[in-house]
Structures are given as structure tokens and as C-alpha cells.
Amino acid sequence: MSEISAMEGEKTFKQWKKQCLNKLDLSKKGSVDEDINTVVSSLNKSDNYFTTSSCSGRIILIDGVSDCVDVQKQNCSWLFVTHKKCTKDEVMAALEKSSGDAVLKFEPCVLHVQCKRLEDAQLLHSVAINSGFRNSGVTVGKKGKIIMAVRSTHCLEVPLSHKGKVLISEEYIAFLVGVANNKMDENLKRIERFYGCLRSALEPEEDKRCVKDTESDEKAVYRRRRRRRERDGAGSDCNVEQQSDSEHSDELDGQLGLFS
């Protein structure tokens, strides 16, 4: 790549980054999920990355018709959602509102990160794989956008009702809630590992000693949050993602997948 082309590419990347981060600032939520905020902040401070969408992980109960496979469809409704652990009573109360086919799901942390260069995407891919996000991959869009998706297969999806009739016992629902909560705990541990690997990858060797104390403090934030969640097990409102799945899909139309 010529020097002029490289300069043009960097200018375009900076424009994309500014536009994307301004979208977040103007959104109703105006922030990202608490448990992933430090990771997102570190990526967005880097000259080589910015996040286009993020979710720290969630437990959801959706209700829809039998052929509903996309929770974004109009014929599916959200009965319950939390980015933290939940209780059986919360799920049971939400399940009472079901009039169709209710499905309990756990969805792990996911990040979509736009990268300046392919080598930056490769570095982030290695960080993700080494942190337990083994379903991660890189795509290159038709406009040259390089997107690194940080994701894992640490999921859960179980049908609970059909046409409004609950199919399983309350005892089994309690068991499923326990499984989902355990997955949420593991999810936070993976976020911690990802953050640690990310900092090591982004910091130049000569600067690592200077940020050691700060790094320890920020890791401690994740540990405190995990302990608090393990102690409380309380639910919370759903946080709004920075960019909808449909918008993200449009950007990657005609994309090329790499080492996914």
C-alpha cells in the first residue's frame, strides 16, 4: 500500500470512528453495559479500534409463534431481560404473560469492533481466542471495513411454553435459572480474561510497568462486580446496544470472512 493510500485509509477510519461514537453519544441510553464498559473504553481509546456494538451478556425470555427464530421480528415479544443473574420467581412472573411459545435464553458477551488494519484485527482475534471467545471471527466488508466479532458458543436456549401453556415443572425452571446464572458467572470471568489479554496486547512493552497499578485497579472492578453479582443475584434493565443488528448487517453486506 502506498503512503498516500495509507493516509487516505487512516483518514477514512477516523471519520468512521467519529461517526460511530457520535451515534452512541446521541442515543437514548448514551452508555454501554456496566460489565463491559472498561473493555469498550479501552478499545475506543486506541487509535486502531472502535466498537460498533456491544452486549455484556444477558438472560432473556421471549414469546412468539412457533416459527419465530429472530427475536427482532414483530411477532416476538420480550417478556424478561437482564444483564445480571436472575431468580426463578422473576422468570415465573414473566412466564405468566406468555400467550405463545416462550423461550428462555442466555446470550454471552458479544463485541463488534472495527479495526484500522487487518493486522490489528488479527491481534484482537488472538486476544479473543486466548480469552475463551472461540467463536470469534473477522469479516471485511465491500467498503473495506474490517470488523472483528468477539463471541463464544457459551449459550443456552430452552422452550418453556407452547401456545401459552407451560410445558415444564417449576422445579425444572428453577434448575434452568441456575444453569443460566452459572453461565453468567462464567461469562464475566471471560470478560475479565479478555480485558487482561487486551491490555497486555495494546500496551507497548516499555509502558507496561507504568500502567501496572492502574491495570490492577481496573481488574479489581470486575472482581468486585462479579462478587456482588454472585452475592445478590439481582436483575436489571436491558441496556441499549450501540448499533442495531440490522444496521450492522447492512454494513457488512458482501463481506468476506477470515479465520472465523
pLDDT digits (tens, 9 = 90+) for 133-154: 999 999 999 888 999 999 999 9
Task: Give the contacts of 13 (CB within 8 A, at least 6 positions apart).
Answer: 114, 116
pLDDT at 67 > cutoff 80: no
pLDDT digits (tens, 9 = 90+) for 178-211: 999 999 999 999 999 999 999 999 987 445 544 4
pLDDT digits (tens, 9 = 90+) for 209-260: 444 555 555 556 656 666 666 666 544 433 334 444 444 444 444 445 665 5
Its pTM stands at: 0.74
Buried b (16+ CB within 10 A) or exposed e, 66-84: eebeebeeeebbebbbbbb
Question: What are the grid coordinates assigned to 148, written together?
Answer: 472483528
**DSSP codes joined into one string, 127-148:** HHHHTT-TT-EEEE-TTS-EEE
How buried is 204 (Cβ within 10 angstroms: 0-12 exposed, 13-18 middle, 19+ buried)? exposed
The percent of residues above 90 in pLDDT, for the chain, comes to: 60
Residue 53 belongs to a domain with what CATH number? 3.30.1960.10
170-202 helix and 37-45 helix, angle to the nearest 10 degrees: 30
Domain that holds residue 103: 3-258
Domain count within the chain: 1
